Structure 1
Amino acid sequence: MALASKAAQLQAKACEAARFAARHGCAYQRALVEKNKKYVVDPPTVERCQELSKQLFYTRLASLPVRYEALWKEFDQVKHLWRNRKDLNVERAGVAALFGIELYAWFCVGEIVGRGFTLTGYHV
């Protein structure tokens, strides 16, 4: 019975949030666009959007060598830690373990989301 009342409370809060979003969503969107007007390209034509898309793509492409170098620096740090693992203290080992657990958890969540929020992979 407690679970049913919690579900009803959750549903009521969700309905209240939906009503609030319906009432204030347009005003929030307008205020957000006005606040960030410096990022809006005028006129918003298809050609200008395509140009910006290409700029973003090639900017990201140009940043790959820097990211690649940073990745190898990270790997070198891990190799250094592994070589000196005898000097590793409990705090650093704990941080490394938590980081590994977090990565694994994100992987699992990604798999569940990719399967359509099912645990077994079967859709009902």
Structure 2
Amino acid sequence: MASKLVQLKSKAAQASQLVAKHGGSYYRQLLEQNKQYIQDPPTAEKCNLLSKQLLYTRLASIPGRYEAFWKELDSAKKLWKNRKELKVEDAGIAALFGLECFAWFCAGEIVGRGFTFTGYYV
């Protein structure tokens, strides 16, 4: 256990040296590449305005997303009614989608427990 702690400390020291050496240039490069997204002047009032714009834009998009949801649900109902005419390829795609959803659920559970598989910290 102590050897792992020493190893972790050395890795953390290497990472902090790398950040100290290249962090400033990376930060400046990142800002230069994305300067079209930076609001000038960068004030708290501007941040409040942008957050309100985001909130109300998201609220305005709800009716469109609501309609898209019901269209998607209607097409799923139609597929279920005509399931006897369902091709093997379509059933395979649906099975893969269900498997992918289950895998994302399992990954989320593992992440939520702090990347442990048993739920206990080792």
Question: By the TM > 0.5 criterion, same fold?
Answer: yes
**TM-score for both structures, normalised by structure 1:** 0.76
User: 2:77 is aligned with what amino acid?
Assistant: K
Amino acid at match of 2:48: Q
Q: Please report the RMSD computed on the Cα atoms of aligned residues, expressed in angstroms.
A: 2.4
Percent identity reads 63
Which residues of 2 match residues 26-41 of structure 1 at below 5 A? 26-41=24-39
1:52-91 equivalences under 5 Å are 52-91=50-89
**Structure 2 residue corresponding to 1:97, chosen from 84, 95, 98:** 95
In structure 2, the residue corresponding to 1:113 is in which secondary structure? helix
- 1:4 matched to which residue of 2? none
SS in 1 for 2:78: helix
**CA offsets 1:59-103 (integer angstroms, 9 cap, x no match):** 111111111111111111110111111111111111110001001
Q: Which residue of 2 aligns with 1:109?
A: 107
The separation in 1 between residues aligned to 2:31 and 2:78, in whole angstroms, is: 48
| 3-state SS in 2 of match to 1:44 | coil
Deviation at 1:108, TM superposition (A): 1.1
Q: In 2, distance between residues paired with 1:20 and 1:101? A: 42
5+ residue gaps, structure 2: 1-7
> Aligned to 2:93, what secondary structure does the other structure show?
helix
For the residue of structure 2 that corresponds to 1:58, the secondary structure is: helix
Once residues 74 and 120 of structure 1 are traced to their aligned partners in structure 2, the CA distance between those partners, rounded to angstroms, is: 37
Q: Which residue type is aligned with residue 62 of structure 1?
A: A
Q: What is the deviation of 1:119? A: 2.1
Label 1:61 to 1:19 Cα distance change in 2 as closer, same or farther (>3 A). Answer: same
- Relative distance call for 1:21 and 1:53 in structure 2 (3 A) is farther
**Partner amino acid for 1:111?**
E
